[in-house]
Chain A
Amino acid sequence: MTYSDPSASQSLEDPSLVQETQIQPSHAPGVAAEAAARSLRQPYLQIEDIHKRFGNFVALKDIFLNVYPGEFVCLLGPSGCGKTTLLRIIAGLEQHSQGRIIQGGQDVSHLPPSKRDFGIVFQSYALFPNLTAHHNIAYGLQNKKLPKAEIQTRVGELLDLVGLGGMGQKYPAQMSGGQQQRVALARALALSPGLLLLDEPLSALDAQVRVKLRAEIANLQRRLGVTTVMVTHDQAEALAMADRIVVMDKGYIAQIGTPHSVYQGPGSPFVANFIGVMNFLDGMVEAKDMVRCGNLVLNTPSNTVPVGQRVSIAIRPEDIRVMDGAATPAPNVAEAEVLGTEFLGSGYRLELSVLGNARQPMTLDISSHRARAMAIETLESLAIQLPPEMIRVFPKEAS
């Protein structure tokens, strides 16, 4: 990592990448290479040591982030963690208290939004209701005093681009939510900005349209190669769309990484819990690759946590394996009693009480296919394995 700069974000980012390549080399072969390639390019957007205070309230602290040309970065985090504030600072709509923003090699920290180079889509879309879709999209072009014919062509292209060809004469109120969203996107792209900013662009839509549009936006972004920063609190959206995810919590960056690395290698219990579903078990380190939870002693990846320290070990429900009757010797196998079954559509989620550690119930996901084979409705107990390589160990903060 030759580009490493003395920033918190990098030190958070790199280990996760490293861990990932250790843990799951086979699942994401391109990640390490991609990260190396990225490091050779110049970032398009550099966010350096941004802090933001509203009076006494600290909304953002120690924010470092590099966004590379053509990259799609998602800011992900719970409500109130400062995602929108960060996006607005990037746009210049909000003034930061400390730090600087560098875009395209130029320090834009003190430029007003109108002097910066970005297009933006808001959660409300903020379409001008008294203008047709055509005039909404043409709004910025007209201000540039371009010839009429040129504007006409460009708007036509943009409408086609977002799949709204021929709908230019409609007013926003005459369009569906998804269509309005596309108009807003076309408007944001009209001036071919270097940076596209999206603030929860899909959250006002219903579930089905949302899933459809998120693929469309991601495709469009890749096709145009426009550097994009999107805010969302929906982890599924971030996982599906982003090249890299920036997980935020209470005004700081908790982790930066590819969807894969963040999902598989969460750097903290907060990230582990926020993205996907995670089982947490309290335990104590017995050896460098062994943790005791109740009367259960589990093998884990080797780690540096000192022996005797209290830890939290984490494993995802879909990573727990159900043992078939024929017992091949394997580590971390335990008997578990079924407490409840929940039908998820694509599969089942079982609530289990593991023998030897009954105090801390766990959940386990299995596919419908497996479930049928096991006669899940009447199942009372089963043997499970917690594959050691799927377990993560988090030291408990002394509290």
Chain B
Amino acid sequence: MTTTTRHPIVAPRAKAFDLEAWVMRSLLGLGALWLVVGVVLPLFPMVGRSFQNTNGEWAGLANYGQYLTTPSLVQSFLNSMGVAITTTLFSVGLGFIYAYGLTRTAMKGKTFFRTLGLLSLYIPPLANAIGLIYLFGNQGLVTTGLFGLLPGININLYGFNGIVIGEFLYCFPQAVILLVTALNLTDARLYEAAEVLGASTLKTFFTVTLTSIKYGLMSALFVCFILAFTDFGVPKVVGGNFNVLATDIYKQVIGQQNFSMGATISVFLLIPSVFMFGLDRIVQRRQNALISAKSVPLQPKPNPILDWAMFGFCALMVAFIFTVFGTIILASLVKVWPYDFSLSLKNYDFSSVGGGGYGAYWNSLRMAFYTAIFGTAIVFTGAYLVEKGRGLNWLRSLTYLLSTVPLALPGLVLGLAYVFFFNNPIWRIPFTGLAIYNPLHWLYGTMALLVMANIIHFYTVCFLTGTTALKQIDAEFESVSASMAVPFYKTFWRVTVPLSLPAILEIGIYFFVNAMVTISAIIFLYPANLPLAAVAIVNMDDAGDIAAAAAMSTLIVLTSLGVRVMYSWLTKGLRQRSEAWLHR
């Protein structure tokens, strides 16, 4: 006898329409679609273009053949490699010492150095390059020895040296961030063990310090390499006749309108980046495995010699960063460098120079604002769906993967890919002879496309910030809500978003600052009626209006810093409150 006969059971209820599940599925589908359109699809016409001649006919490997047999082009590849490797070694080497000082010594002024060492995060590499011209260029302060007061030193700025210094200023803070994180993760007990075993300081350094931060160190190497290898702004301004891949792409596309060769060179820029990106992902995963383990933070012991040596070093680094930054501001305020050093705001009157002036600045502000608003909404929702969503696991994994890919795409490549993808009124589907009207063609030349390019360009870092924050939130909130029949989107709005507010604002700031300073992703995309501030710097520099370029750089940097400071100030109470919520 069975229970069923005595207690009839109502048959399983027909699967009722489940609104919540549908909302979840639709959002996940939309999120994946957004990334497919924003990241994956544009790459096809770009790579495809590298197999076509200038008339758009199939050319097989002809472009690659031409590339590899043109010595000047091959030289650019080697130049890019040389710049990237040199920059990486300097940034990570000096960045390591700086990070070591901040985490492992008892030197004075740590907070000061931590804040100011990262200042160059807010200075576009392009602006640093302008500053370098005023220091080491032909009329530079150092080159002329403060205009004859001292013996001058000419470092031959234009070319390899200038690019490396400029990229160094760009990569150094990134290396410091990664290495400080890695050094902070190391377990103090390892050092105690080494001490007990009587290992010498040097031996401890090699066996404990270096091995325990090896993933962070590798990550820093990969990231700096990618940044220096793909950057466009610095070589454009101080490269002189020293060609690199990024400037070659620009010349082919803007100068010679040779899109096919531009696409071919892009592939050469893309491949090493993707390779380094892949290595970085592997390494990051290993490091994340370490983070979860409980470790005891290290309390550095005072060591006067080391502490003061470190202090001197860090002060030197900060002084250098500040000198460059100060020089930009000074140059923007000087009437006629190097003849009339009286101060004036005349360089801030952009009406007599090209580039778009305050209109461009205003456009950049708008673009940065939209990027911050829409980017934050999209990225955080995406991170939420990936991290906290239920069901459709394959789609969530795919979305995660696609969200990390943009980090591997150099801005120039992304921009060029968008040109091919959005500018073409008709899409030809390869190998089928089929063609359809491009439903997204109307986006081309609009503010919306610029914003979209920026969101995708800076997507990965923001996405990872979002997922990290979400991981700290109790995994059962969604379950508890479900038990009370509260749909997930209500809990998202009432609980998850308020708890993640610091991370959300952080993402917004990151989008804003980067959209303000970027040129690589948008230089091919901006329409003539929408000039942009960062692009204006390039154009002013091209036209020889370097003082105006310095003024525009100053405006951008001050805007970014202003937004940052305002943010810290406005959200102080808020952050304290959510800190209290999260860490009881």
Name the contact of B479 in the complex, choosing from A102, A105, A110, A126 (C-beta under 8 A): A126
Contacts of A110 in B (CB 8 A): 12, 15
Contacts of A111 in B (CB 8 A): 13
Contacts of B483 in A (CB 8 A): 91, 113-114, 116, 118-120, 140, 188, 193
Bitwise interface map of A from 93 to 111 toward B, beta carbon under 8 Å scored 1, else 0: 1000000101001111111
How far apart are B547's CB and chain A's nearest CB, in angstroms?
51
Complex interface: stretch among A22-30, A128-136, A332-340, A390-398:
A128-136
Residue on B nearest A129 in the bound complex, by CB: B581
Q: Are A105 and B474 in contact (CB under 8 A)?
A: no
Complex interface: stretch among B3-11, B219-227, B256-264:
B3-11
The answer to whether B480 has its CB under 8 Å from any CB of chain A is yes
Bitwise interface map of B from 1 to 30 toward A, beta carbon under 8 Å scored 1, else 0: 111001111111101101011000000000
The answer to whether B285 has its CB under 8 Å from any CB of chain A is no
A140 to B483, CA, bound (A): 9
Q: Are A93 and B482 in contact (CB under 8 A)?
A: yes
Contacts of B580 in A (CB 8 A): 173
The answer to whether B582 has its CB under 8 Å from any CB of chain A is yes
Q: Are B486 and A143 in contact (CB under 8 A)?
A: yes
Contacts of A171 in B (CB 8 A): 581
Bitwise interface map of A from 159 to 183 toward B, beta carbon under 8 Å scored 1, else 0: 0000000000001110000000000
Q: Chain B: interface residue count, which band?
A: 35 or more
A111 to B16, CA, bound (A): 9
Contacts of A112 in B (CB 8 A): 18, 20-21, 482
The answer to whether A115 has its CB under 8 Å from any CB of chain B is yes
Q: Are A173 and B581 in contact (CB under 8 A)?
A: yes
The answer to whether A191 has its CB under 8 Å from any CB of chain B is yes
Which residues of A67-109 are within 8 A (CB) of B? Answer: 91-93, 100, 102, 105-109
Contacts of B7 in A (CB 8 A): 42-43, 105
Q: Are A128 and B3 in contact (CB under 8 A)?
A: no
Name the contact of B490 in the complex, choosing from A91, A126, A143 (C-beta under 8 A): A143
Q: Are A124 and B479 in contact (CB under 8 A)?
A: no
Contacts of B480 in A (CB 8 A): 120, 122, 126, 187
Contacts of A119 in B (CB 8 A): 483-484
A91 to B484, CA, bound (A): 12
A115 to B8, CA, bound (A): 21
Q: Are B12 and A107 in contact (CB under 8 A)?
A: yes
How far apart are B557's CB and chain A's nearest CB, in angstroms?
36
The answer to whether A5 has its CB under 8 Å from any CB of chain B is yes
Name the contact of A5 in the complex, choosing from B3, B474, B584 (C-beta under 8 A): B3
Contacts of B8 in A (CB 8 A): 105
A355 to B441, CA, bound (A): 96
Contacts of B474 in A (CB 8 A): 124, 126
The answer to whether B477 has its CB under 8 Å from any CB of chain A is yes
Q: Are A91 and B479 in contact (CB under 8 A)?
A: yes
Bitwise interface map of B from 550 to 582 toward A, beta carbon under 8 Å scored 1, else 0: 000000000000000000000000000010111
Residue on B nearest A106 in the bound complex, by CB: B10
Name the contact of A139 in the complex, choosing from B13, B18, B484 (C-beta under 8 A): B484
Q: Are A130 and B581 in contact (CB under 8 A)?
A: yes
A105-B582 contact, Cβ under 8 Å, with A5-B2, A129-B499, A188-B483: no
Q: Are B12 and A109 in contact (CB under 8 A)?
A: yes
Residue on B nearest A94 in the bound complex, by CB: B479
A110 to B12, CA, bound (A): 8
Q: Are A140 and B482 in contact (CB under 8 A)?
A: no
Bitwise interface map of B from 480 to 521 toward A, beta carbon under 8 Å scored 1, else 0: 111111110010001100110000000000000000000000
The answer to whether A255 has its CB under 8 Å from any CB of chain B is no
Residue on B nearest A199 in the bound complex, by CB: B476
The answer to whether A230 has its CB under 8 Å from any CB of chain B is no
Bitwise interface map of A from 194 to 238 toward B, beta carbon under 8 Å scored 1, else 0: 000000000000000000000000000000000000000000000
How far apart are A3's CB and chain B's nearest CB, in angstroms?
7
Contacts of A42 in B (CB 8 A): 6-7
Q: Are B12 and A113 in contact (CB under 8 A)?
A: no
Contacts of B581 in A (CB 8 A): 129-130, 171, 173
Contacts of A139 in B (CB 8 A): 481, 484, 486
A106-B9 contact, Cβ under 8 Å, with A112-B482, A114-B20, A122-B476: yes
Name the contact of B9 in the complex, choosing from A91, A102, A129 (C-beta under 8 A): A102
Among B18, B485, B494, B582, the most chain A Cβ lie within 10 Å of the Cβ of: B485
Contacts of A5 in B (CB 8 A): 1-3
Contacts of B490 in A (CB 8 A): 143
A114 to B22, CA, bound (A): 14
Q: Are B476 and A114 in contact (CB under 8 A)?
A: no
How far apart are A18's CB and chain B's nearest CB, in angstroms?
19
A172-B584 contact, Cβ under 8 Å, with A5-B3, A91-B479: yes
Q: Are A107 and B10 in contact (CB under 8 A)?
A: yes
The answer to whether A253 has its CB under 8 Å from any CB of chain B is no
A130 to B2, CA, bound (A): 50
A130 to B495, CA, bound (A): 7
A328 to B479, CA, bound (A): 63
Q: Are A113 and B582 in contact (CB under 8 A)?
A: no
A43-B3 contact, Cβ under 8 Å, with A107-B11, A119-B483, A122-B479: yes
A120-B479 contact, Cβ under 8 Å, with A112-B20, A114-B487, A130-B498: yes
Residue on A nearest B16 in the bound complex, by CB: A115
Contacts of B479 in A (CB 8 A): 91, 93, 113, 120, 122, 126
The answer to whether A352 has its CB under 8 Å from any CB of chain B is no
A134 to B376, CA, bound (A): 31
Contacts of B10 in A (CB 8 A): 105-107
Name the contact of B584 in the complex, choosing from A4, A140, A173 (C-beta under 8 A): A173
Q: Are A106 and B13 in contact (CB under 8 A)?
A: yes
The answer to whether A353 has its CB under 8 Å from any CB of chain B is no
Contacts of A108 in B (CB 8 A): 12-13
Residue on B nearest A112 in the bound complex, by CB: B18
How far apart are B6's CB and chain A's nearest CB, in angstroms?
7
A173 to B485, CA, bound (A): 25
Contacts of B476 in A (CB 8 A): 122, 124, 126
Add 10 more A-B contacts to A105-B9, A108-B13, A130-B498 (CB < 8 A): A92-B482, A105-B8, A105-B10, A108-B12, A112-B20, A119-B483, A126-B476, A129-B582, A129-B584, A144-B485
Q: Would you list 23 pairs from A and B whose C-beta atoms are within 8 A, ordered by A residue?
A: A43-B3, A43-B7, A93-B479, A105-B9, A107-B9, A107-B13, A108-B12, A108-B13, A113-B482, A113-B483, A114-B482, A114-B483, A114-B485, A115-B18, A122-B476, A124-B476, A126-B476, A126-B480, A131-B495, A139-B486, A143-B490, A173-B580, A191-B484
- 8 smallest A-B Cβ distances: which pairs? A140-B484, A129-B581, A126-B476, A113-B482, A107-B12, A173-B584, A143-B486, A114-B482
